[in-house]
Chains A and B, each alone.
Chain A
């Protein structure tokens, strides 16, 4: 059972906007930054968003992140077929003194 809660799935048609939520608590999201990782089948996760809303070099600007209180969100605007992947949120947890991940959300492009 993951410390951070994500919906198991999300979907949209090409061009649509899809949003994925990540719910935590005061010891993790409430007091630390949130990162998002993208993972394609059979490959390692890749850092997609860091420090709540920053994109590493090379990540398209249609990916955006936000945080409010003990929750965070990842938005994909202008959804494309190549965005079909699993997405994980993650944060440091002060109570556990370690990293915690969300359960992951599978995005399907219809």
Chain B
């Protein structure tokens, strides 16, 4: 079955760039909407944005100036870059699939904790 797995550094310094990758196994990335969602420790969920298999993106307006997402079809991966991070960006970051867009997240990765600290 299709599985998602996040990877990337667990510690990022303030003002630097957070970079994460989600590897899709058991299925192709060349369809559906691929999302990033985060959850600060002890808090609720926040949608970061999605990238469609065509490459079209849509980002949360509160993060738009700092977020970039892209696909790597050859590796069946999609990635997130978040620039100029602060302690407020410390969170568990999840990748998730939305089959039809503006619909629901039917498949999630296990999540990866990223801490912003010097």
Taking Cβ atoms with an 8 Å cutoff, the residues of A that contact B are 2, 32-33, 35, 37, 43-47, 50-51, 56, 88, 90, 92, 96-104
Contact = CB atoms under 8 A, between A and B. Distances in A.
A17 B13 CA distance: 47
Contacts of A46: 108
Nearest to A104: B44
Interface in B81-99: 94
A101 B104 contact: no
Contact of A102 (B44, B58, B94): B44
Contacts of A104: 44-45
Question: For chain B, what secondary structure do more than half of its interface residues adopt (helix, strand, loop), or is it mixed?
Answer: loop
Interface of B: 35, 44-47, 49, 58-61, 94, 102-106, 108-111
A26 to B, nearest CB: 16
B110 to A, nearest CB: 6
Contact of A44 (B47, B59, B103, B108): B108
A51 B49 CA distance: 20
A85 B19 CA distance: 30
A18 B44 CA distance: 21
A97 B110 CA distance: 26
Given A35-B103, A46-B108, 9 more contacts: A35-B105, A44-B108, A56-B106, A90-B45, A92-B102, A96-B60, A98-B49, A101-B47, A104-B44
